[in-house]
Amino acid sequence: MLLCTFHPKIVLSCKNSVLALPMINRITIIGTGKVAGHLATAYKQAGVLIVQVLGRHLQAAACIADGVRAQGIDSFADLNPQTDLFLLAVSDYAVAEVARQLPEGKTLVAHTSGFMGMEALLPFRENVGVLYPLQTFTKGRPLDYSNIPFFIEANSTENEERLLSLARQLSSSVALANSQLRQKMHLAAVFACNFPNYLFGIADELLKAEGLTLDVLKPLLHETVEKALSLGPENAQTGPAARNDKITLEAHLKMLDGRADHQKVYDFLTSKIIESLNK
């Protein structure tokens, strides 16, 4: 029996009250990128056994494996079938190809992609799912997993419950979300994370030219995020574009002479802010 609180599109706070399922205690990580390294370390610290780390390059696989007391390998032929989960932390385009090369059997296989559908695994496996952490990962930068949202999908209730339980070993924010919803969240994350980071780079360049660093903007950045979250982006917008201050806007564009790309970004975003506030 499952006790769940339902949202129109996301199933939240599911707790297994009666159904007894085998726990995922042994994980094999496929991939050697940032997500693979982070999850291998996090699950090792949570008490899960990392059996092997498989990568295209043995040195990269061994680098992660050594840190979690696992075996690093670079061949699918060397995979140990005695594992509870093959966790595919690979690029989207590689998910299906990797799944095709896994040992035959009923072992659960899940990928970590926000954009790739679960269906990519179905032609090759009987038990499949998705374990998607909605976060940005950087090598060498530790994370507090306790409130990172994890979104789960699987092709059966049993597989869902096993992945939900596994995610809860790291986070208190765990939910079910289908592939279509995950893709929308992934797109939103690009707008909220990747695009602003590009703009931070422009700000950093302008400040460094004057002997300054992004540190001078820290209080501004923190307040910007806090206001967007508490008031909503549409109510938090300030600045010369929001005021339609044409004198300042023209002066800023003049200051960017010689930086045509930056001028284009400034002009486009200014026009979109003005347009959005005039709706």
Encode pLDDT of 97-132 as tens digits.
Answer: 999 999 999 999 999 999 999 999 999 999 999 999
CA 226/CA 229 separation, integer angstroms: 5
Last residue of a domain, which of 152, 177, 202?
177
Residue 172 and residue 192 share a domain: no
CB atoms within 10 A of CB 131: 25
- What is the band of 200 on the pLDDT scale with cuts at 50, 70, 90? very high
Percent of the chain with pLDDT over 70: 92
Q: Name the DSSP letter for residue 122.
A: T
Q: What pLDDT shows up at residue 127?
A: 96
| Residue 155 counted as domain residue | yes
Average pLDDT for the chain:
92
CA 263/CA 266 separation, integer angstroms: 5
pTM: 0.87
Q: What pLDDT shows up at residue 20?
A: 59
Question: H/E element holding 187?
Answer: helix 179-189
| Residue 1 counted as domain residue | no
Do β-strands 150-154 and 174-176 pair in parallel, antiparallel, or remain unpaired? Answer: parallel
Residue 212, domain extent? 183-277
Average pLDDT over residues 229-255: 96
Residue pointed to by tokens 């931070």: 200
CA-CA-CA-CA torsion sign (83, 97, 193, 139): positive
Residue 237 and residue 160 share a domain: no
Helix (H, G, I), strand (E, B) or coil at 151: strand
Residue 213 and residue 84 share a domain: no
Residue 120 CB contacts under 8 Å (≥ 6 apart), including other chains: 95, 96, 99, 111
Average pLDDT over residues 169-195: 96
Residue 196 and residue 165 share a domain: no
CATH value at residue 205: 1.10.1040.20
Average pLDDT over residues 191-210: 97
Residue 193 and residue 236 share a domain: yes
CA 43/CA 219 separation, integer angstroms: 34
| Residue 101 counted as domain residue | yes
Last residue of a domain, which of 177, 208, 239?
177
Is the pLDDT at 226 greater than 60? The verdict is: yes
Q: What pLDDT shows up at residue 278?
A: 86
Is the pLDDT at 16 greater than 80? The verdict is: no
- When divided into structural domains, the chain yields a total of 2
Residue 21 and residue 138 share a domain: yes
Task: Look up residue 183 and give its two tokens.
Answer: 């893709």
pLDDT tens for each residue of 55-110: 999 999 999 999 999 999 999 999 999 999 999 999 999 999 999 999 999 999 99
CA-CA-CA-CA torsion sign (40, 94, 146, 21): negative
| Residue 129 counted as domain residue | yes
Is the pLDDT at 135 greater than 90? The verdict is: yes
How far is CA 137 from each of CA 25, 76, 145, 195, rounded to the nearest angstrom?
Answer: 24, 26, 11, 16
How far is CA 125 from each of CA 11, 86, 119, 148, 239, rounded to the nearest angstrom?
Answer: 25, 11, 10, 28, 53
| Residue 159 counted as domain residue | yes
| Residue 133 counted as domain residue | yes
Residue 157 and residue 272 share a domain: no
Residue 45 and residue 172 share a domain: yes
Residue 74 and residue 97 share a domain: yes
Q: What pLDDT shows up at residue 131?
A: 98
CA 71/CA 33 separation, integer angstroms: 16
Residue 101 and residue 20 share a domain: yes
- What is the band of 198 on the pLDDT scale with cuts at 50, 70, 90? very high
Last residue of a domain, which of 116, 149, 177?
177
Q: What pLDDT shows up at residue 11?
A: 52
CA 50/CA 43 separation, integer angstroms: 8
Amino acid occupying residue 268: F
Alpha helices in 17-109 (DSSP H): 34-45, 58-67, 95-101
CATH value at residue 37: 3.40.50.720
Q: What pLDDT shows up at residue 5?
A: 37
Best CA proximity match to 25, nearest among 48, 50, 53, 52: 48
Q: What are phi and psi of 4, to 5 degrees?
A: -135, 150
